[in-house]
Amino acid sequence: MKVLAAMSGGVDSAVAAARAVDAGHEVVGVHLALSRQRGTLRTGSRGCCTIEDSMDARRAANLLGIPFYVWDFSERFAADVVDDFVAEYAAGRTPNPCLRCNEKIKFAALMEKALALGFDAVATGHYASVVRDADGHPELHRAATWAKDQSYVLGVLTHAQLEHAMFPLGDTPSKDLVRAEAAARGLTVAQKPDSHDICFIPDGDTRGWLADRVDLAEGAILDRSGARVGTHPGALAFTVGQRKGLDIGFPAADGKPRYVLEIRPKTNEVVVGPREALAIGELAGTRVTWAGMPPADPATAFDCEVQVRAHGDPVPATAALRDGELVVTLREPLDGVAPGQSAVLYVGTRVLGQCTIDRTVSAVPATV
């Protein structure tokens, strides 16, 4: 096959490309330039897709003996990921930019261009697996190692995208083995730190970054009864589940800490309450996609597990599609679920599909 290997400049994508070469595929490496600041340099393990990462990817491609290109996707990234991130926060939601990048950039824009150029597949260094069912349809499954599993952030992939997705690291038991393999191959990125945080906010100060892009105004902090208990500097500076920074000035009647339960951007209000009120019994959302073949009858409730964070634990649930909205009823409450997060459904190790959460229903009465 003719394979386009997305090379971020890290150890995972370098080894994934190497394995694609070993498998006998005709491999071409590509690094995506996503930042409009061409001279951006990486600092430790913060950020990715910088000029340093581009040079690391080029060195790996040269060692593997494969052609290498840099494609400028900065405008598409700014519109589909960065602007979306700002708009979601402005709407009082908590987005996942890594998931959106996979959806809009790596497996939409990149794959579209790859297929148009005659490539058969796009290979990445994600820890996940594509498995064929009895009828030959692709399914997305968790990686062999739970600690590195990245199937959650790939939950937005569709049947058509999975047909052309390749994850050479999916069956690798540990990241240590990947680093050891990279060292044995002579790849200079063998011990390069993993990137973390949001790549376009490399200093990790999300609140400060948003303050320059979203208007913040003082507003009311309310308890669950609607009584005003304080003033905040800007509702969009808070996230559901947050405890610090409320600055209410006096304790709750029960003496327990208060947490952000809800953000109301239209009225610029923040609702707070006890920790137990963060427990969610039901969630629902739109922007529903199925990772492979959908359930035979998604309108009929089916058993599954749901995961709402990249490294969160899945909980048992039932789900059903109702008037275009995926409604998920939890058998065990989940804490601190916020609109804008993605709810990814699993059946065993298989990723069934996902939705962007629009609303939640508390498992605890408002009197608590």
Sequence-distant (≥ 6) Cβ neighbours of residue 352 within 8 angstroms: 290, 291, 292, 294, 295, 304, 345, 346
Q: How far is it, in rounded angstroms, from Cα 219 to Cα 277?
A: 22
What span, in angstroms and rounded, lies between the C-alpha atoms of 162 and 290? 11
Three-state DSSP state, 326: strand
**DSSP per residue over 50-109, as a string?**
SHHHHHHHHHHHHHHT--EEEEE-HHHHIIIIIHHHHHHHHTT----HHHHHIIIIIIII
Q: Is 355 a catalytic residue?
A: no
Region of residue 56 (left: phi > 0; alpha: psi -120 to 50; beta: else): alpha
- The Cα–Cα gap between 170 and 307 comes to 19
Are the beta carbons of 167 and 150 closer than 8 angstroms?
Answer: no
Give the tokens for residue 206: 């999300």
What stretches of 102-204 show up as alpha helix (H) in DSSP? 110-116, 159-162, 175-185
Distance between CA 153 and CA 128 in Å, rounded?
Answer: 10
Do residues 200 and 221 touch, judged by C-beta distance below 8 A?
A: no
Cα-Cα-Cα-Cα torsion 129, 132, 138, 139, nearest 10 degrees, comes to -50
Active-site residue identified among 48, 49, 98, 199: 199
Catalytic residue (one of 48, 49, 101, 304): 101
Q: Cβ distance 245 to 236 under 8 Å?
A: no
Task: Identify whether 101 is a catalytic site residue.
Answer: yes
317: which strand partners? Answer: 304, 330
Tell me the catalytic residues.
Answer: 101, 199
